[in-house]
Structure 1
């Protein structure tokens, strides 16, 4: 039990400082209300305060939640007024965010591009951008399809699965370990460590230490055995990153790619399985799978908020008076449904990438296209392998785990026709249809190539894929 003196000290550290009348009675951005219905909370705040609302972070630390689309763009595009450098944060400077505060892991300044502006940001971000640009997108799609087949082979004989814990949480890490140049067997351990860190459990610090040590060993190995991978390209980049800078950027890319891509996969699969109009648009050719992913990014972004801008001067934003040193939270989910840019939320959005799901400005996510490739290819390959996939519960029974910055589907139970593992790899880049790896791994279930007769478990998705393949072949 916490003794009274410790409780009093914690209250003193987290009580909003005097002279903050705008935050008197402000809404908490944490706790039961925020976690059970974050979207409803955003709309209530928008109605009451407009595009920028006073809120309280964990420990009742005052901040501003940016709800408006245009206001979010203003913040992300003007680093001279709103810096990414957390050392500007008045609450840290004045001791109200101690090192063991829940926000410390995501706000403590580190020598990486997300905490820098100007020339230093350009140096670090330039190395990341140039290295990501060297990825072979066709090779990524091929590898992702192989990963999907490995994952599906683990549960296909049972006729049921949880597509969150058995698919969406594993596929991005399997893909990223290969892109970073890590042995594939590291993937399960890294998934567990990343989930533990993101959930803020009692063992999160130990999980972070495991991840850091794994990446430190990777950097050392790549000095001795360079390869065609992201780690080697960072080490060889002309900007001359130190080993520690390379290690910290590997951690940043790995964790960000894991969390965001896992959420996109889970949310898109949920939409395909539960929304009749959505599925009809796909089946009728009115929407492609990449369109579907973008629609989900508009409606259910992988990160609903991002804490990470601090005012460098007294300024005005959305009718609110922002003081130098104030913290701002980018309301990505709220901005994506701002009626100023989406007057009709029910209208489908085809191929429009103007959403803020990957933030904006100089700090917009550099790996978003890699994430799209992993998610899109992974979903396509999964639906090809399991064409009669169906939700195994009522949609109302699906649950989410919400925190300040993310809202994740806890599970997505599905059922399908059981079949034997196939140990397959893609036949070509046109479709995730597969062929046996070798004579020792012959598929026991029939497998169709687009344009040929479909196997017994044919479905709407294979019909779509077949039509797409035929159109490409004729063009």
Structure 2
């Protein structure tokens, strides 16, 4: 694949024989723009159309007509995420760097690797994991639940007397950052500052760069504090590891843990609450019961996963995948949500007719393979999300949507899926703290 010409020409050259009966392939359909409202208004039907038109691997164009491949087949996703030699997470291999303008909007998402757990590969990635995983495993699930209950109660106390709230802004968005702040070693006021900063740089507004710099400065200060006065927290356990790291590596790992843990957990809470308020299968939980909270959370990871598309992998050599010729250096985007809905693996219609997925957790919401979300981090996110929802339903058992379900708005992104707002109403109640 060359770096010249249109994205359509590049992908047409890499496409193998079309699947039988595929009208879009027969007509020579070009790459799919990875933008537009349907990615956040009706992604399931859009992915079905893409699968019918292109098969399990879709040629897509990113902003500026930059070519990439979107993997939407379950089996192909297993192949890509399970073969780090052929499909490493090494953006330095990308064959498009020389063509990209400096202000390309997605450049930070696929930038040249940094020395953090999120960007390193091979032995260096494993070195970071050997330091981080024990530090995360040291988080007591009982302490974590206690922190989450206390902070959830505090947030609910701020709005419970009014009978109305926006559960995105007032609850789901701040809570994970507050809990993560505590287990990392920040004070509660400092954790509130983390909430503000992460909202600023994830929204990409005019103060995004300054917020990101302040975010890094806070991690640097935390590192200095815990080196001088260690405690029973993740940062102190990272510093106690026998593996040596530079301050920059510690800071980047702390930034990665916090940002990667906050946004998906926040959206997991919001998407699960939305499902429980709009789907009859989970109505029993709204009477104060807890038995279907876990089922609702698992259903969200299958049908409404917070991370829809993940960047990325890069082919280390020419190969074939899902009927396409992939050239060395091509970018592959992981279509986690689309792969979860692949009808070749499971029939979502039949599953819904039977009620739940009965604990089936073979989804891609935490990715898969060597670069998947570390298991201790998955457990921390699940405890925070489940405790948050249980506390909310205990405190506000008659909660209901305050707007028609069809008017709810999602984050305008093909990559992330969360509620922009989640207006609810309930019977006013006194604050738990008096």
Structure 2-normalised TM-score? Answer: 0.90
Q: Among residues 330, 333, 340, which one is paired with 2:337 in the alignment?
A: 333
Matched, 1:102 2:93: no
User: How has the CA–CA distance of structure 1 residues 33 and 295 changed in structure 2, closer, same or farther, with 3 Å as cutoff?
Assistant: closer
User: Residue 305 of structure 1 aligns with which residue?
Assistant: 309
Aligned alpha-carbon RMSD (Å): 2.1
Q: 1:356 aligns with which of 350, 354, 364?
A: 364
- Residue correspondence of structure 1 range 198-213 to structure 2 within 5 A: 198-213=202-217
The answer to whether the 8 A contact 2:310-2:335 is kept is yes
**Which residue is 1:376 aligned to?**
386
Distance 1:59 1:200 in 2: 18
Q: Is the 8 A contact 2:408 2:422 kept in 1?
A: yes
Tell me the residue number matched to 1:56.
Answer: 61
CA distance, structure 2, for counterparts of residue 233 and residue 416 of structure 1: 42
Structure-1 separation of matches of 2:85 and 2:126: 15
The residue correspondences of 1:201-350 to structure 2 (distance < 5 A) are 201-280=205-284, 288-345=292-349, 346=352, 347=354, 348-350=356-358
Aligned counterparts of 1:287 and 1:14: Cα–Cα separation in 2: 56
Deviations, residues 135-168 of structure 1 (Å, cap 9, x unaligned):
1001100110000110011011111101000000
1:113 offset after TM fit, Å? 2.1
Contact kept, 8 Å, 2:57 with 2:73, in 1: the verdict is yes
The alignment status of 1:114 with 2:118, answered yes or no, reads yes
Q: Secondary structure at the match of 2:312?
A: strand
Q: CA deviation at 1:242?
A: 1.4
Report if the CA contact (8 A) 1:54-1:64 is conserved. Answer: yes
Between the aligned partners of 1:275 and 1:19, the Cα distance in structure 2 is 43
Alignment of 1:407-426 (within 5 A): 407-423=417-433
Shift of 1:18: 6.8
8 A Cα contact 2:288 2:393, kept in partner = no
Per-residue displacement from partner, 1:259-278 (whole Å, max 9, x unpaired)? Answer: 10000000111111111122
Task: Give deviations 1:410-430, integer Å, cap 9, x for gaps.
Answer: 11111111122122xxxxxxx
Please say if 1:76 is aligned against 2:81.
yes
Structure 2 unaligned blocks of 5 or more: 15-28
Secondary structure (helix, strand or coil) at the match of 1:403 reads coil
| Corresponding residue pairs, total | 411
Q: What is the Cα deviation at residue 110 of structure 1?
A: 1.0
d(CA) in 2 for partners of 1:384, 1:204: 37
How far off its partner does 1:31 sit?
3.4
Flag structure 1 segments of 5+ consecutive residues without an equivalent: 1-11, 424-442, 444-475
Q: Which whole-Å CA distance do the structure 2 matches of 1:285 and 1:388 have between them? A: 12
The aligned counterpart of 2:398 is 388
Match of 2:192 in 1: 188
Instruction: Write the distance in 2 (CA, Å) between the matches of 1:36 and 1:302.
Output: 14
**Cα distance in structure 1, aligned partners of 2:401 and 2:39:** 27
Which of 88, 92, 96 matches 1:91?
96
Q: Structure 1, residues 58-103: CA drift from partner, whole Å, max 9, x if none? A: 22210000001111111111011001011011111xx223342211
Task: Give the SS at the match of 2:219.
Answer: helix
Alpha-carbon separation, structure 2, partners of 1:52 and 1:20: 11
Q: Which of 1, 21, 24 pairs up with 2:12?
A: 21
Give the superposition deviation at 1:33: 4.4
